[in-house]
Structure 1
Amino acid sequence: MTFDPNADISRGRVSRRGRTAGITAAGGGIGVVVIFLLSQLFGVDLSAFVGGGQAGGGATGGEEIALEECRTGADANASVECRMKGAAASLDQYWAAAAPEVGIAYASPQNVVLFEDQVSTGCGAASAATGPFYCPPDETIYMDVDFFGELRTRFGSSGGPLAEMYVVAHEWGHHVQNLAGILDATRDGLTGADSNAVRTELQADCFAGAWAGDASDPREVGGTPLLEPVTEAQVADALSAAAAVGDDRIQQAAQGEVSPHTFTHGTSEQRQRWFTAGYERGAAACDTFSVPAGGL
């Protein structure tokens, strides 16, 4: 999925947070606790692969720099940071049109923050080991774009622009869930194949698919599309990314076995299937919470 080179992506709300001498990483304490909780509830826990989320250096805590250099679709096609800004502009356009159709009063996230290593958030201190995540208290998506390289080199994703944008679209789905009250209503701390945690994550995958299916169609988004029509190869890239972060695949790689009772995000097959459901049928097909036990 690439951008129309002449598209205006300047309205995408994305910033880069610069390194400061703020919070230092340590092997314990409240920062690690917050990272663990965030990884369970919102992101993809990579700590098993990168030493438990510990990192050296200071946190990326203070100054935020707007990506003023990212103005056009051509910029988005050339740079991963600009691509995140373009994705934000496209997602905002899509959800402004689609949210009322599924009974949600839409408002944009406060920001998408790109960082390195560590970051201070409304949810506490987090590290890149947490993976990309959405923080409800400050309504902001956080991601270290180096995660996209991890998807390819450690998790076997094929990569590609739509795979990268799938990640931010999934987190944007959590923002939509927050607006709808779903995150508060379903946060019971339970895990397992039929848990609310898994249903929440699969719905966010479905929402990401709904955006991918409609974002390049001006009839659906209510205006001129920013993106060129998606290709089958690009959809395959997104499905590859969804499969790469399935609970079963991550657990098998990290511990040599799969423990369904600890699932928080769904299997690779489920994540692909729900993305496809949204892609083919739109956001209205994303009610994972009405699916009977054993049917996800």
Structure 2
Amino acid sequence: MEYRDNVQLDQSRVRYGGGGGGGGRGRLAVGGGVGGLVLLLLVVFLGGDVGSLLGDGGNQAQQVASQPDCDNTSDLGERPECRWTVYENALTTFWEGEFASGFEPPAGMMIFTGQVDTACGTGTSEMGPFYCPGDTTIYLDSEFTARLLAQLGTERSDVAELYVVGHEYGHHVSNLTGQMTKARQSGNDTGPKSAQVRLELQADCYAGVFFANTIKDPTSPIESVTQDDLDRIVAAARAVGDDHIQQQSSGRVVPESWTHGSSQMRQYWTATGFQSGDPNSCDTFSTDELGG
């Protein structure tokens, strides 16, 4: 993945450290592109929902590196951590152009380590990246995300990270359109055609739509995505499939417990979004053809 030179960046929505969001059990957090291996295994094999596993808040967040100075894509050479600002800016630029009116970007993206207070409760690194609709913020531990991708059988790369962040941003889009609320009305059902899986597949599709369009925008900080990058995106989607995670962790696949969809389903919907470039192609709620 190539970055465009000399593009001004807005770093106001990317934050480092803990705090923010207000603690308490609050609203349910939505699982990430990676799915949070530890949390996902608890849900799959022990039962219960993500909201109850988030804890009850508290002020136990650990501080990470101070906020880097990321004013321009030219800063990436000396400060590679500025890539998170690039990801956020590229996603916001694309999605605000897709809404005729009323678009509000996520309140921010929080890079943290250890624990962090959110409006959905206490988040931890081991949950993997997640989106909290209560404070419309994306949370992730960058180092843990890299280790988790490796544990699931793919390597860290900028494009794999951007797929993960693009998926979380997709949850924000579903939140804005009301699809997230509708999905929750069905309760905590699981399985290949459950509302939970459909919501996750929609986020994958939205990530694909973003990739297809950002490289066509001459103002985007993302200049190009190569075939190798596309292969890495596919590998990341495969790695975070419920069946792949279950096979790695227990040696057996239990479709009835799926919350994110199989590797094949996640690859299918990421590709659907990329090939169409149209968010309207991401209506996973009105079809029984989910790519499984």
Question: Normalization by structure 1: what TM-score?
Answer: 0.82
For 1:292, the equivalent position in structure 2 comes to 288
Give the Cα–Cα distance (whole angstroms) in 2 for the partners of residues 264 and 50 of structure 1: 11
Greater mean alpha carbon deviation, residues 160-169 or residues 6-15: 6-15
What is the number of residues matched between the two proteins?
A: 274
For 1:190, the equivalent position in structure 2 comes to 189
Alignment of 1:45 with 2:36, yes or no, is yes
Question: Cα deviations across residues 159-214 of structure 1 (Å, max 9, x unaligned)?
Answer: 31110111111000001111111111111210000000000000000000111111
Q: 1:134 aligns with which of 131, 134, 144?
A: 131
Alpha-carbon offset, residue 110 of structure 1:
0.5
Give the Cα–Cα distance (whole angstroms) in 2 for the partners of residues 295 and 46 of structure 1: 23
- 2:18–2:117 CA contact under 8 A, matched in 1: no
Give the Cα–Cα distance (whole angstroms) in 2 for the partners of residues 214 and 12 of structure 1: 24
Question: Cα deviations across residues 88-129 of structure 1 (Å, max 9, x unaligned)?
Answer: 0000000011234xxx74211101000001111010012111
- 1:200–1:288 CA contact under 8 A, matched in 2: yes
Alpha-carbon offset, residue 81 of structure 1:
2.9
Give the Cα–Cα distance (whole angstroms) in 2 for the partners of residues 82 and 241 of structure 1: 22
- 2:64–2:112 CA contact under 8 A, matched in 1: no
For 1:122, the equivalent position in structure 2 comes to 119
Secondary structure of 1:290 counterpart:
coil
Give the Cα–Cα distance (whole angstroms) in 1 for the partners of residues 17 and 228 of structure 2: 33
For 1:272, the equivalent position in structure 2 comes to 267
- 1:151–1:244 CA contact under 8 A, matched in 2: no
For 1:27, the equivalent position in structure 2 comes to none
Give the Cα–Cα distance (whole angstroms) in 2 for the partners of residues 80 and 242 of structure 1: 24
Alignment of 1:179 with 2:176, yes or no, is yes
For 1:225, the equivalent position in structure 2 comes to 220
RMSD: 3.2
Give the Cα–Cα distance (whole angstroms) in 1 for the partners of residues 102 and 271 of structure 2: 25
For 1:5, the equivalent position in structure 2 comes to 5
Give the Cα–Cα distance (whole angstroms) in 1 for the partners of residues 42 and 281 of structure 2: 38
For 1:215, the equivalent position in structure 2 comes to 214
Alpha-carbon offset, residue 42 of structure 1:
2.1
- C-alpha distance 271-129 of structure 1, shift in aligned 2 (>3 A): same
Give the Cα–Cα distance (whole angstroms) in 2 for the partners of residues 256 and 197 of structure 1: 23
Give the Cα–Cα distance (whole angstroms) in 2 for the partners of residues 78 and 51 of structure 1: 39
Q: 1:170 aligns with which of 167, 172, 182?
A: 167
Q: Spell out structure 1 runs of 4+ moving beyond 4 A.
A: 48-54, 63-66, 77-80, 293-296
Secondary structure of 1:125 counterpart:
strand
For 1:59, the equivalent position in structure 2 comes to 60
Which runs of no fewer than 5 residues in structure 2 stay unpaired?
44-52
Alpha-carbon offset, residue 294 of structure 1:
6.5
- Residue correspondence of structure 1 range 5-154 to structure 2 within 5 A: 5-11=5-11, 13-18=13-18, 38=29, 41-43=30-32, 44-47=35-38, 59-60=60-61, 67-76=67-76, 79=79, 81-100=81-100, 105-154=102-151
Give the Cα–Cα distance (whole angstroms) in 1 for the partners of residues 121 and 171 of structure 2: 18
Greater mean alpha carbon deviation, residues 151-160 or residues 183-192: 151-160
- C-alpha distance 257-230 of structure 1, shift in aligned 2 (>3 A): same
- 1:3–1:76 CA contact under 8 A, matched in 2: no
Alignment of 1:240 with 2:235, yes or no, is yes
Secondary structure of 2:2 counterpart:
coil
- What residue identity is the alignment partner of 1:212? F
Give the Cα–Cα distance (whole angstroms) in 2 for the partners of residues 161 and 137 of structure 1: 28
Greater mean alpha carbon deviation, residues 162-171 or residues 45-54: 45-54
Alpha-carbon offset, residue 17 of structure 1:
1.1
Give the Cα–Cα distance (whole angstroms) in 2 for the partners of residues 285 and 206 of structure 1: 8
Question: Cα deviations across residues 231-253 of structure 1 (Å, max 9, x unaligned)?
Answer: 11111111111111110011111
- C-alpha distance 109-248 of structure 1, shift in aligned 2 (>3 A): same
- What residue identity is the alignment partner of 1:239? V
Give the Cα–Cα distance (whole angstroms) in 1 for the partners of residues 147 and 126 of structure 2: 10
Give the Cα–Cα distance (whole angstroms) in 1 for the partners of residues 179 and 70 of structure 2: 33
- 2:117–2:123 CA contact under 8 A, matched in 1: yes
- 1:109–1:139 CA contact under 8 A, matched in 2: yes
